[in-house]
Amino acid sequence: MMELLAEHSQRLGLTLSDAQLAQFAEYTRLLADGNQRANLTSVTGPDEVQIRHYLDSLTATLAIPDWPEGMRVVDIGAGAGFPGIPLKIAFPGIRLTLAESVGKKTQFMERLVAALELPDVEVLTLRAEELAHRPGYRGEFDAALARGVARLPVLIEYALPLCRVRGHLLAWKGQDGPSEAAAAGSALDAVGGRIAGVHSVDAVAPPLPANRWLVQVAKTRGTPRQYPRRVGVPAKQPL
């Protein structure tokens, strides 16, 4: 069932085992079932799911090729688990936190994590603005992931407070990725980061939609305590 994923993930330098492909197949089945209860995704066909959700998630390796044992990762606005859970399947040694504000979606992810028997995965019904002010989370992550959540200046305020210094935010973007990166200077100055890369996905994963970008932001210093601002403010008043 996962032939497309198995084939095209090799372009990213990944060889998925039969056991990992079986986990992705079960993910697909559970996603179709869960989508009948909650609005998880508009992409539901098995072939589309393999490419537009799983393969797209795994393009994180363009920015960070190695995801070692114990690496701490947070997925902001995780929705139905993308990109965090595909990366957890591919790199089972990472420690993953999935943060999502919609309860029906976190309930689905909890069922999914249990069904796939994924260790070291935490699911939280919480907004990023709240999570980033909690002890044990602020400044603790090696990587923060955000796929389709908000424009880059907003994501920077959400995510960099969660990252340790020298950690990274990975933001999945469409055709506006380079222009969003170019316009993020004020947010980077305020929160403490720099653009570390704007990676084109097109040459590596042709089945994906054209003009797909992965923007990589490195955290360069500690974030002032006032960031992120209270819930709703970053989106309404971007830095």
Q: How do residues 141-151 score in pLDDT, each as one tens digit?
A: 999 999 988 99
Q: Tell me the three state secondary structure of residue 79.
A: coil
Residue ranges with strand state E in the chain: 72-76, 95-100, 121-125, 141-147, 163-173, 193-200, 213-219
User: How far, in Å, CA of 138 to CA of 135, rounded?
Assistant: 6
Pair 53, 208: CB distance under 8 Å: no
List the domain boundaries for the chain. 3-236
> Does 201 score more than 70 pLDDT?
yes
State how far the Cα of 180 lies from the Cα of 152, in Å rounded to an integer. 6
Res 29 pLDDT > 90: yes
Q: Which amino acid is at 200?
A: S
Higher pLDDT, 35 or 104: 104
The C-alpha R_g of the chain, in whole angstroms, comes to 17
Return the pLDDT at 209: 77
What's the average model confidence in pLDDT over 48-76? Answer: 96
| Cβ atoms 52, 4 nearer than 8 A | no
- Say how many C-beta atoms besides its own lie within 10 A of residue 179's C-beta: 13
Task: Report pTM.
Answer: 0.95
Mean pLDDT for the chain overall? 94
pLDDT at 205: 66
- Between helices 18-34 and 103-116, what is the axis angle to 10°? 150
Query: What proportion of the chain, given as a percentage, has pLDDT over 90?
Result: 88
Q: How far apart are the first and last CA of the chain?
A: 44
Q: Report the CATH fold assignment for 3-236.
A: Rossmann fold (3.40.50)
Lowest mean pLDDT among 8-12, 24-28, 70-74: 8-12
pLDDT value, residue 206? 67
DSSP helix/strand/coil, 67 = coil
Q: Summarize the confidence of residues 202-215 as an average pLDDT.
A: 82
Q: Which whole number is the average pLDDT over 212-225?
A: 97
Q: Exposed/middle/buried for 182, CB within 10 Å: 0-12, 13-18, 19+?
A: exposed
The angle formed by the CA atoms of residues 194, 200 and 204, to the nearest 5 degrees, is 135
Query: pLDDT of 173-185, one tens digit each?
Result: 999 999 999 999 9
What single-letter DSSP state applies at residue 55?
I
Closest C-alpha among 79, 89, 80, 91 to residue 142? 91
Mean pLDDT of 22-31: 96
Segment among 45-49, 95-99, 222-226 with least mean pLDDT: 45-49
Q: What's the farthest any 2 CA atoms get from each other in the chain?
A: 48
CB burial string 17-47: b at 16+ within 10 A, e below = eeebbebbebbbebbeebbeeeebbebeeee
